[in-house]
Amino acid sequence: MAGALEKSNHCLLLAARNTMKAYISVDIEGMPGIASRYHLSADSPLFEKARRVTTEMIIVLVEELFSQSFEEVLITDSHSETAKT
């Protein structure tokens, strides 16, 4: 009986691995190289750099998660205007 239970638990573990999901909350202020409020203002020339860095970091993270068998990845940024959507 104990062997069947272990086998059953093992099967449950495998099923859980096959449905891994990730929820990621992104904060542009925490990205590498984003060190000034000028990176955060849409009318600043540095804003595009901040967007590019953030996008590149997210792409790397998502690719790694999918390579580790994650099936779903949800990414959100809840700052200012995006908090309303």
Q: What is the pLDDT of residues 33-69, one digit of tens each?
A: 888 888 888 899 999 999 999 999 999 999 999 998 8
Say if CB 31 and CB 54 are below 8 A apart: yes
> pTM of the predicted model, to two decimals?
0.66
For residue 64, CA distances in Å to 56, 57, 76, 81 come to 12, 11, 18, 29
pLDDT tier for residue 30 given thresholds of 50, 70 and 90: confident
- pLDDT, residue 16, reads 54
30 DSSP 8-state letter = G
